[in-house]
Amino acid sequence: MYPFAFTKPATERDALAAGADGGRYIAGGTTLVDLMRETVERPSRVVDINALPYRDIAVSSEELRVGSLVRMSELAAHPDVRSRFPVIAQSLELGASAQLRNMASIGGNLMQRPRCPYFRDVHSACNRRSPGAGCDAVDGDNRMQAILGATAHCVATHPSDLAVALVALDAVVHLRATTGTRTVPVAEFFLRPGNTPHRERALEPGELITAVHVPAGPHTRRSGYLKVRDRQSYEFALASAAVALDIEGEVIRGARVAVGGVATVPWRLPEVERALVGRRPGRETWKEAASRAADGARALSGNAFKIQLLERTVRRQLTTVGGR
């Protein structure tokens, strides 16, 4: 680990000033500390933000508001979240071990970096870690890599389960810096790699996530998260699906579907959603809609199985959520 300065500001103003001066924010530290140990991340200053007041959870008929320092386990256990936004609670519980959920913050979860082994091996070529170095994963061990949104510059999948649920529900991230505040839809917060895979999020230098807001509706109650992985214990997704449906009078009035484990960012499936709206819930509807889940997918040498796995994962979760 490389030497670094450590500060723990008591006020938001001091924290933002330290961030604007090149500091890296830390809360639970479940990602950043690992990356520093592996020398993938080498910040000169680490800013502990745990003294800041971003710890509220508020549920109303209009929305869910979550402070960025709320722990994963706390949000997953909240009774109103479990009943009104089950897809969020399930994505959190499936996203990490109990020990990590007790430490990791909601803001930190959205700031996770790829779990690609080539990104985390400083001796491998990785454009996210060293722009212009190349991508060893393209022709290497790419079983876990992306089939959607990948480019020749990066094929790493996005690691967050929570982010998939938030993209499906049209959540918004609230950001603050010394220059002011702004909001960004979660779907626009994560950047596809393109030619600049080292730019992973729509964040300005020194900006800090303060909260996440999720609009409520009939679809948020009828929602759920499915994660398919190599083992049932703590593991990253081969494919996952967040589904939220508004069904009234035996007709699907609205549908939200996003997937993870298969794309470079949490991936919304508008074609699947369009195939659902206006239809009657049922086996043929789920099958036809899910057949569009992998539209545009491009497999690498070791992950072609993900195309069929993605379709089956979406179909199974549509069946589960739609059958409630």
Residue 324: is its pLDDT beyond 80? no
Query: Tell me, what's the pLDDT at 17?
Result: 97
Query: Tell me, what's the pLDDT at 252?
Result: 98
Percent of the chain with pLDDT over 90: 98
* 187-221: pLDDT as tens digits: 999 999 999 999 999 999 999 999 999 999 999 99
Residue 40: is its pLDDT beyond 90? yes
- Here the tokens at position 316 are 């199974």
> Whole-angstrom Cα distance, residue 6 to residue 46?
5
The angle, 0 to 180 degrees and rounded to 10, between the axes of the packed helices 161-168 and 86-95 is: 160
CA 130 to each of CA 140, 142, 196, 199, 294: distance values in angstroms, whole numbers, following the listed order:
18, 19, 11, 11, 30
Query: Tell me, what's the pLDDT at 50?
Result: 98
Evaluate whether 46 touches 5 at the Cβ level (below 8 Å).
yes
How do 172-177 and 57-59 pair as beta strands?
Answer: unpaired
Query: Tell me, what's the pLDDT at 271?
Result: 98
* 284-311: pLDDT as tens digits: 999 999 999 999 999 999 999 999 999 9
Kindly indicate the confidence band of residue 87, based on its pLDDT and cuts at 50, 70 and 90: very high
Query: Tell me, what's the pLDDT at 73?
Result: 98
How do 5-7 and 45-48 pair as beta strands?
Answer: parallel
Kindly indicate the confidence band of residue 113, based on its pLDDT and cuts at 50, 70 and 90: very high
Fold classification of 218-318 (topology level)? Enolase-like; domain 1 (3.30.390)
Domain boundaries, the chain: 5-51, 218-318
Query: Tell me, what's the pLDDT at 234?
Result: 81
Q: Is 89 exposed, middle or buried (0-12, 13-18, 19+ CB in 10 A)?
A: buried
Query: Tell me, what's the pLDDT at 232?
Result: 84
For the chain, helix, strand, coil in percent to 5 are 30, 25, 45
- Here the tokens at position 6 are 């450590």
φ, ψ for residue 148, nearest 5 deg: -130, 135
Query: Tell me, what's the pLDDT at 230?
Result: 95
Evaluate whether 268 touches 242 at the Cβ level (below 8 Å).
no
Question: What CATH number does domain 5-51 carry, 3.40.50.2300, 3.30.43.10, 3.40.50.300, 3.40.50.1860?
Answer: 3.30.43.10
How do 45-48 and 24-26 pair as beta strands?
Answer: parallel
